[in-house]
A and B are shown apart, each in its own frame.
Chain A
Amino acid sequence: MKNFQIIKALSSSSAITGKAKDNSTMFIAGGTNLVDLMKKNVVAPDKLVDINGLDLKKIAFLKGKVSIGALAKNSQVAEDASIKEKYPLLALALAAGASQQIRHMATVGGNMLQKTRCSYFYNTDMPCNKRVPKSGCGAIGGSNRMHAVFGTSDSCIAVHPSDMCVALAALDAKVLVEGPKGKREIDFTDFHRLPGNTPEKDNKLDERELITSVEIPENNFTKNVHYLKVRDRTSYAFALVSVAVALDIKNNTINDVRLAMGGVAHKPWRLTETEKFLKGKTISADLFKQAGDLSMKGARGYGGNDFKLTLGENAVTEALTIAASK
């Protein structure tokens, strides 16, 4: 790892002031992804701004919403009794990610900003448009078993690896950020972006903006929820495909529904069409099968990941079935 300077920020404004406009300076929170990337020379900042001293660790239940500080640890949120009660889908998704040691270190803001685990992105001897713009994409035509089937471009077929973000996309969360020009809110589903011709940009944060918190509006999704994560081993592996389901069921009818997938796109993939299809319908095995088929409409495989098209259909059907039976 290249040596670097590190400064400790004592306020969000000093953190923002301390960060340069480019990647020569980076914020560090839990460091579970960044330190690894630095060891592999995928990123090599000259300066780190340690933001762990900022007062952004609280989970606050406010009128009509919960506010989760950007520096709240993944395990802190996953095991918070009120989160488990009011936002169980988020707790399930968090508990499905990484290992307990990493969840103790990793923060909510950092989880959102983690980089893809595409092996071409991680290997500095390989071409990767995300790491080095215009250098090519090794995964297209290469080994792409883990890669995206929705929203891809000729530049990049990487997936966003987070589980937490899939639940937050489903639950209509908002991201609160602060930068040199002040504060602003971004809808969670707009926060991460599709690769297009600029896959080096993972999200819509400006260079010097800092995530301060995530807010989730109150909802009725406290019972019939499920986070289904399909992976190569039972625990501690990234998703091949994951599905976050939240159902509000009244008299066997779907009163309201939220659905999102992970492991299929450059961002958490909200299934709004399937949601519309399900709303108001009576629960049945056939309905959930149709919902699964509909969810993967428009998906495109790249060879190694063709299996995700069928796996995705089955995973949505399975997740809906499990959620409805709770």
Chain B
Amino acid sequence: MASKKTNQNKVTPEDANSRRDFIKKSGLFTALALTPPSLVMASEKKWDEKIAEYLETVPLSIEVNGTKHNLNIEPRTTLLDLLREQLQLTGTKKGCDHGQCGACTVHVNGTRILSCLSLATMQQNAQVTTIEGLSKGKKLHPMQEAFIKHDGFQCGYCTPGQIMSGIACIKEGHANSREEISEYMSGNICRCGAYHNIVDAITEVKEGGKEI
């Protein structure tokens, strides 16, 4: 195997910070720089960082579990990171962060998607439902109850994604047999191997006919 290293695609810290530095140097700070006492005070309070941050962000209006949020986010923020890091909704899990495991599955406008591969800025005015949005007060969602009853998990890390996907699987009309459920749940990996019980849980909710 050839061992030649090719780092031409790597982003150096200099590249990543250059725009912020540019904004800092060329923005409001040029004006502030004319008044040295202000500059000292601004520097102490890290205003330069804050101004740069503000200028690098984009506005986002998004509804999560029925609550509207008006935020400013970096364009590179994924929906998953927005939920977990900015809205403190840590029920949605980061598994692989590359669209291979399904742990980050949420519903956007009623459709299940992978929040790790979705840029939050592209979900302008979207309605997002996460695992935290399923229960009604203390009453669990039928799928949550079924997962408990059928032992549809062991470590529990994939469970929020499995439950969000399981609900969508039924709503899409893809839960008509065990084989069909397995196929349409294949984007959700469970390394504890609770698949059999997960299919049991989904089958029961489907056949129970409760509103989901």
**Chain A: residues with CB nearer than 8 A to chain B?**
1-6, 28, 31-32, 35-36, 38-44, 48, 50, 52, 98-102, 104-105, 124-128, 131-132, 135-138, 141-143, 234-236
Contact = CB atoms under 8 A, between A and B. Distances in A.
28 contacts: A2-B16, A2-B76, A3-B16, A3-B19, A3-B74, A3-B75, A32-B117, A35-B78, A35-B117, A35-B118, A36-B117, A41-B9, A48-B75, A99-B187, A101-B187, A102-B99, A102-B114, A104-B113, A124-B6, A127-B4, A132-B8, A135-B4, A135-B6, A136-B4, A138-B1, A142-B1, A142-B2, A235-B186
Contacts, number: 121
Contact of B9 (A52, A132, A236): A132
B181 to A, nearest CB: 11
Nearest to A5: B75
Contact of A6 (B78, B119, B183, B186): B119
Contacts of A36: 98-99, 117
B186 A99 contact: yes
B186 to A, nearest CB: 4
A235 B113 contact: no
A210 B127 CA distance: 29
B151 interface: no
B21 to A, nearest CB: 13
Contact of B56 (A1, A3, A32, A35): A3
B212 interface: no
B142 interface: no
Given A2-B76, A48-B75, A236-B187, A131 B122 contact: no
Contacts of B16: 2-3
A138 B184 CA distance: 35
A33 to B, nearest CB: 8
B204 interface: no
Nearest to B78: A35
Interface of B: 1-2, 4-11, 15-16, 19, 56, 58, 74-76, 78, 97-99, 102, 105, 111-114, 117-119, 121-122, 165, 168-169, 172, 174, 182-184, 186-188
A127 B6 contact: yes
Contacts of A39: 97-98
Contacts of A128: 6
A124 B111 contact: no
Residue with the highest number of chain B CB atoms closer than 10 Å, among A28, A39, A128: A39
A100 B9 contact: no
A2 B102 CA distance: 24
Contacts of A137: 2
A100 B6 contact: no
Given A5-B75, A28-B122, A141-B1, A104 B111 contact: yes
B122 A99 contact: no
B202 to A, nearest CB: 13
A277 B113 CA distance: 44
